[in-house]
Structure 1
Amino acid sequence: MSDDQRMAPSKVAGDRVSLTSFLDYQRATLAMKCRGLTGEQLKETAVPTSGLSLLGLVRHAAEVERSWFRTVLSGERGTALWPAVSGVFGEFHVEDADVDEAFTFWREACEQSRAVTDAFESLDETVEFRGETISLRYVLTHMIEEYARHNGHADLLREAIDGAVGE
């Protein structure tokens, strides 16, 4: 993919900058995997054995951002943007999905997540959630893992859709 607009994380930054910049890099990778495709292509389930699509991944990323940063770290109560259907995460049902809405919700969720992160003084600051103590460090690390895993899926989906490959 030649339209790589991602900013590479520093190789010498401290922990907080490293974690937040790696998370932003992963977010930018998902955006890059979707760039240049039509709405229909974004909805394609390009792997015959899976209902996974790039748009489903974007919607899932929006839900995960909201869940970890707003619900867990900020203690806000909210409902899913796309409720479950037959026990399956609703964000993956994209047949009638609005592409622009999904990307808008995802970008807004990322901005809100950055604001929540900025409100914490330390990576080691914790919250209590459902009987567990959870640190900002854990959430940032988990989110990097979440995106990296799904970006692997996105890479395979993109290649199956139009042959585009790249990091």
Structure 2
Amino acid sequence: MTDNRIPPPFVGDERAMLNNWLEWHRGTLAAKCAGLSEDQLRERSVPPSAMSLLGLVRHMAHVERAWFRHILNDEDVPSLYGKDVNPDADFDGADTASAEEAFAVWRAEVEHAREVSAEVPLDAVGRRKRRGQDCSHRWILVHMIEEYARHNGHADLLRERIDGVTGE
């Protein structure tokens, strides 16, 4: 398993800590998927779950887009993978999705999220509400760390099931 992650520092200001932990978790998802074939990336966990590593990559691309483009920056871009019609489309469509395309979309959404985040103070409130509630940039960053951490636990189990590889 290729691991190019840079461990977050033990000391730093709040923005640096949040950004470094988010980058650590983004890198963790990439590491969990590294070196696998497209078929392995599509392997599902256990019935009835539709979860796969490729589905997780597609899901996190959607999550990056939803929080940074829609909520924080109020960009008028469509939802990915038809999630506005089928909430599970990111996972359901992984059986026939291109891994190359899914990773390219995820990387593009991550890069755009980095750019948006760099321009916004931590106390800034998103331009759109989420379920009728305002969300601060700080809250979004903490939520993204939590979202990746939870799904990286899933990715760890999926990877171990596929080829026995484990790791932090």
| TM-score normalised by length of structure 2 | 0.93
Aligned length: 165
Give the letter for the 1:82 counterpart. Answer: Y
Tell me if 1:10 matches 2:9: yes
Give the letter for the 1:145 counterpart. Answer: E
Q: 1:69-114 CA deviation, whole Å, 9 max, x = no partner?
A: 0000100122222014984421102111011000000000000000
Q: Which residue does 2:160 correspond to in 1? A: 159
1:133 deviation in Å?
2.0
Q: Is the 8 A contact 1:46 1:161 kept in 2?
A: no
Alpha-carbon RMSD across the aligned residues, in angstroms, is 1.5
Q: Is the 8 A contact 1:124 1:137 kept in 2?
A: yes
Measure the CA separation in 2 of the matches of 1:54 and 1:102: 11
Q: Is the 8 A contact 2:73 2:127 kept in 1?
A: no
Inter-CA distance 85–92: structure 2 relative to 1 (3 Å threshold): farther
Measure the CA separation in 2 of the matches of 1:63 and 1:34: 17
Matches within 5 A, 1:53-64: 53-64=52-63
Q: Which residue does 2:122 correspond to in 1? A: 123
Among all aligned residue pairs of Structure 1 and Structure 2, give the percentage whose two residues are the same amino acid. Answer: 48
Give the letter for the 2:35 counterpart. Answer: G
| TM-score normalised by length of structure 1 | 0.93
Give the letter for the 1:16 counterpart. Answer: R
Q: Which residue does 1:114 correspond to in 2? A: 114
Q: Which residue does 2:98 correspond to in 1? A: 98
Q: Which residue does 2:40 correspond to in 1? A: 41
Inter-CA distance 104–95: structure 2 relative to 1 (3 Å threshold): same
Unaligned runs of 5+ in 2: none
Please state whether the residue corresponding to 2:135 is helix, strand or coil: strand
Q: Is the 8 A contact 2:74 2:127 kept in 1?
A: no
1:49 deviation in Å?
3.8
Q: Is the 8 A contact 1:63 1:81 kept in 2?
A: yes
Q: 1:6-64 CA deviation, whole Å, 9 max, x = no partner?
A: 00011101000000010000000000000000000000003244210000000000000
Q: Which residue does 2:70 correspond to in 1? A: 71
Give the letter for the 2:20 counterpart. Answer: S
Measure the CA separation in 2 of the matches of 1:71 and 1:99: 25
Please state whether the residue corresponding to 1:133 is helix, strand or coil: coil
